[in-house]
């Protein structure tokens, strides 16, 4: 890679890091992306999925090779101390999507200068962080508008050092269900529980029940989990509350198991409501399917020489979620981890207020994408 392209990677990353925006609010980010894509001078740019952007380049006949980046940020107050820290107080690119966007923008500039004889699609996807922007793009007909043969994505992590591309030939990210349960009843004095509703005991009972789903209703050899991340009920020691809220996540690599989990959530909410004489409401905030790499494509990547500074290695599956799974279900492809770890950032990982991935990771990601284009057979 020339210093010129690395300088562009840094410029884009730092400009984008300053302006983090959350799901479907990526307006300033979108303006920056569109401006850069128009300047490349070779893309047809169009909007999709509210704040998403599709940039298509036609360099010949045949199918497209596609690359996807997420563009949203998180509601986290940044504490990195960087000179280019977020100017949007309370919001941060704590998942490194600024790196992902920068690699695709720099790839766009390289395409504009070299004009490869390939058809290339750059997908700037909104709302990856829990709002299913990838699914929305698929539903809006992304792959009926463009005949894509292969699709690729990277996700940075400090768990691998710079220069490492890590993937496997199947299970990369689990399917997820993010849920919230609201229990409601009559609140009142704790001295007369028989005259009021005991929401806290009901919530405790429900949490116990929910934690039986994975070990007792699902195949024990399958990768499944259910975790409760928040319980809120009550404000004082002598008052029985009128509401209790439970929030949690369920994860699996099996669609059928996710369906079982969802049905059991409904059943258990209903049973606790009946037992304690309460009202219950189950809210499913998001549902992602598993992200599964195409085995042939993953094996091809593992045997490709991406340059002396890049090492492709095999990684274990994780129970984290990634809505790129909706695109991988529609088109063969692969997502890989992009090593961004160094001696200074190993204690502050993804979604941490101090997360600062090594910027040199972008050079490896850019070279990886460029090689995929050069070796793509239409």
Q: Is 129 in the active site?
A: yes
Q: Model pTM?
A: 0.93
**Which candidate in 21, 109, 128, 129 is catalytic?**
129
Domains of the chain: 3-173+290-374 (3.40.630.10), 175-287 (3.30.70.360)
Q: Which residue has the tokens 């983090």?
A: 20
Q: Which residues contact 2 (CB under 8 A, 6 or more apart)?
A: none
Q: Output the pLDDT for position 4.
A: 86
Q: Do 280 and 182 contact (CB within 8 A), yes or no?
A: yes
> pLDDT tens track of the chain, all 378 residues?
557 899 999 999 999 999 999 999 999 999 999 999 999 999 999 999 999 999 999 999 999 999 999 999 999 999 999 999 999 999 999 999 999 999 999 999 999 999 999 999 999 999 999 899 999 999 999 999 999 999 999 999 999 999 999 999 999 999 999 999 999 999 999 999 999 999 999 999 999 999 999 999 999 999 999 999 999 999 999 999 999 999 999 999 999 999 999 999 999 999 999 999 999 999 999 999 999 999 999 999 999 999 989 999 999 999 999 999 999 999 999 999 999 999 989 889 999 999 999 999 999 999 999 999 999 987
**Which candidate in 70, 98, 109, 135 is catalytic?**
70
Nearest CA to 80 out of 360, 354, 317 is that of 354
Which residue stretches of the chain are H helix? Answer: 3-17, 27-40, 97-114, 133-139, 142-145, 199-210, 213-217, 255-276, 295-302, 325-330, 361-374
Q: Is 323 in the active site?
A: no
CB-based burial, 206-230: b 16+ in 10 Å, e otherwise? bbebbeebbeeebeeeebbebebee
């Amino acid at each position: 890679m020339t210093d010129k392209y690395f300088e562009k990677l840094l410029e884009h990353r730092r400009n984008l890091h300053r302006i983090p925006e959350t799901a479907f609010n990526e307006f300033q980010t979108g303006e920056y992306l569109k401006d850069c894509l128009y300047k490349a001078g070779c893309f047809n740019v169009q909007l999709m999925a509210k704040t998403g952007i599709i940039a298509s380049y036609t360099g010949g006949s045949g199918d497209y090779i596609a690359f996807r980046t997420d563009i949203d940020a998180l509601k986290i107050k940044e504490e990195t101390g960087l000179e280019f820290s977020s100017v949007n107080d309370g919001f941060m690119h704590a998942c490194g999507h600024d790196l992902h966007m920068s690699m695709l923008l720099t790839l766009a500039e390289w395409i504009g200068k070299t004009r490869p004889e390939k058809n290339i699609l750059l997908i700037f996807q909104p709302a990856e962080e829990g709002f299913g922007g990838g699914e929305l793009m698929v539903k809006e007909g992304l792959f009926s508008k463009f005949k894509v043969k292969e699709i690729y994505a990277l996700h940075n992590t400090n768990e691998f050092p710079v220069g490492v591309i890590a993937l496997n030939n199947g299970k990369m990210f689990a399917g997820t269900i993010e849920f919230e349960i609201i229990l409601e009843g009559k609140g009142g004095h704790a001295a007369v529980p028989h005259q009021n509703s005991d929401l806290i005991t009901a919530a405790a009972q429900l949490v116990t029940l929910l934690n039986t789903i994975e070990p007792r209703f699902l195949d024990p050899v399958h990768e499944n989990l259910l975790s409760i991340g928040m319980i809120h009920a009550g404000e004082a020691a002598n008052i029985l509350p009128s509401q209790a809220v439970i929030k949690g996540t369920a994860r699996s690599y099996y669609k059928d198991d996710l369906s079982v989990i969802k049905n059991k959530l409904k059943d258990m909410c209903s049973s606790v409501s009946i037992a304690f004489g309460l009202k219950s409401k189950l809210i499913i905030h998001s549902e992602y399917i598993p992200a599964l790499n195409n085995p042939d494509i993953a094996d091809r990547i593992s045997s490709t020489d991406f340059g002396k500074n890049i090492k492709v290695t095999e990684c274990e599956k994780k129970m984290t979620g990634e809505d790129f799974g909706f695109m991988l279900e529609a088109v063969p492809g692969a997502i890989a981890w992009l090593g961004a770890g160094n001696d200074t950032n190993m204690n502050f990982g993804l979604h941490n207020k101090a997360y600062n991935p090594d910027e040199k990771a972008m050079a490896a990601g850019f070279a990886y994408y460029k090689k995929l284009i050069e070796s793509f057979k239409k």
